[in-house]
Amino acid sequence: MNKIVICIKHIHNIGINYFDLYALEEGVQLKEQNQDNSKVIVFTMGPRGSESTLRTAISKGADEAYLLTDDKFFKGSDTIATSYILATAIKLLVGQYKIIICGKKTYDSGTEQVGPAIATMLNIPHVSYVREIKSINQRRLTVERVVDDGYETIRSSLPVLLTVTNGVHKPRIASIKSKLLARKANIKIFNAYDLDINTSKIGLYGSPTQVVSLYTKKKKLKKKFSGSARYIVSSFIKQFNNSI
């Protein structure tokens, strides 16, 4: 049984995080390509309302779904704490997996940390910003990733964690029948106690980073520059850099 784990995030009022749709699509396509038994297992950590996103994932091809939710202990977790919760759950509930796929970042906070952090906590290698899985067999895979200055091909042993960007496979549209089935699907729910997790490391107080304040955006300026090209560019760069 090849287990393909996908970590997704639920965004309030929007649903499944944009890059996670691509992660899910990659996972489901891997499942469909293999003749042997493969299973796509989806995890999300969030409030109770995240359940709807798990159902969306099922309608798009996921086989099992786990909701990690705990208003008391999980709420307020930063990215490292979130990664810890997900890694703990995957280790406990899935056992032997072949590959873990995450979206490269979340739409709202966009830290890009969760994927690599989970991989580290599970002691497996990871590849970030994957655009295409070029080949995969029982022991290795080859992927193409996107970096700031070009494309890179990486070969890795399995198990491995991938974070994906909007790559070659477009997320599928869920069919009506699968949406109807997803409504009745069984979502497994776990809290901090079920996962036997160290609560002093998570939540609002256990998370290493704390948001202290939200500063207000500086008012939109309207500045004009004229004169010599050198003067314009120098003073513009100075004022632009100061305005951020």
Partner 1 sequence: MVMNYMLSEEEQLLIETAKIVANEKIKPVRQYYDKNEEFPWSIINELAKADLCGVYIPEAYGGLGKGIMGLILVVEELCKIDAGIALTLAATALGILPILLFGTSTQKKKYLPDIAAGKSIAAFCLTEANAGSDVTAINTTAIQDGDHYIINGNKCFITNGGEAQVYTVFVKTNTDKGLRGISCFIIDKETQGFAFGKKEHKMGIRASSTRELIFNNCKIHKDQMIGHIGAGLIIAQKTLNYSRPGVAAQALGIATGALYEAIHYAKKRVQFGKSIITFQAIQHMLADMATEVEAARAFLYSCVRMIDAKISKRISKESAMVKLFCSEVAMKVTLNAVQILGGYGYLQDYNVEKMMRDAKITTLYEGTSQIQRNEIALGLIKETVINE
Partner 2 sequence: MNNMSISLSYTYKGVCIYAEYNRGCISTTTYDLIHIGRSLATKLNVTLSVIIIGSNINKTITQDYINIGVDNLYICDNTLLYEFQDNIYSDILLRMIQIICPEILIFSATSRSIPLASIIAAKLYTGMTSNCISLDIDIKTRNLQQFTEDMKTILTPYHRPQIVTLRAKIFNKIRVKCKANRIGKIVKLPIDVNNNIFNKIKAINFTKYKVDNIFKDLSTAEVIVSVGRGVRTYKIFQLIKEFVMIINGKLGASKGIVDLGWVPYSCQIGETGISVNPRLYIACGISGHKQHTIGINSSSTIVAINIDPNCYMMQIANFALQGDLGEIITEFIKQLKKHN
Residues binding partner 1 (CB under 8 A) = 172-177, 179-180
Smallest gap, in angstroms, from Cβ of residue 166 to partner 1? 14
Smallest distance, partner 2 to C-beta of residue 50, A: 21
Q: Return the axis-axis angle of helices 176-184 and 51-59, rounded to nearest 10°.
A: 140
Q: Which does 225 bind (CB under 5 to 8 A by kind): partner 2, partner 1, none?
A: partner 2
Report the residue number, 129 or 190, with the smaller CB distance to partner 2.
129
Q: What is the CB neighbour count within 10 angstroms for residue 116?
A: 17
Query: 157 and 125 in contact (C-beta within 8 Å)?
Result: yes
Pick between residue 52 and residue 191 the one whose CB is nearest to partner 1. Answer: 52
Which residue, 111, 108, 110, 154, is CA-closest to 131? Answer: 154
Is 35 or 135 the residue whose CB approaches partner 2 more closely? 135
CA-nearest of 135, 120, 87, 126 to 104 is 126
SS3 of 143, please?
A: strand
What's the closest the beta carbon of residue 30 comes to partner 2, in angstroms? 19
To partner 2, the closest distance from the beta carbon of 45 in angstroms equals 16
Q: Which is nearer to partner 1, 4 or 174 (CB)?
A: 174
Beta bridge partners of 2: 38
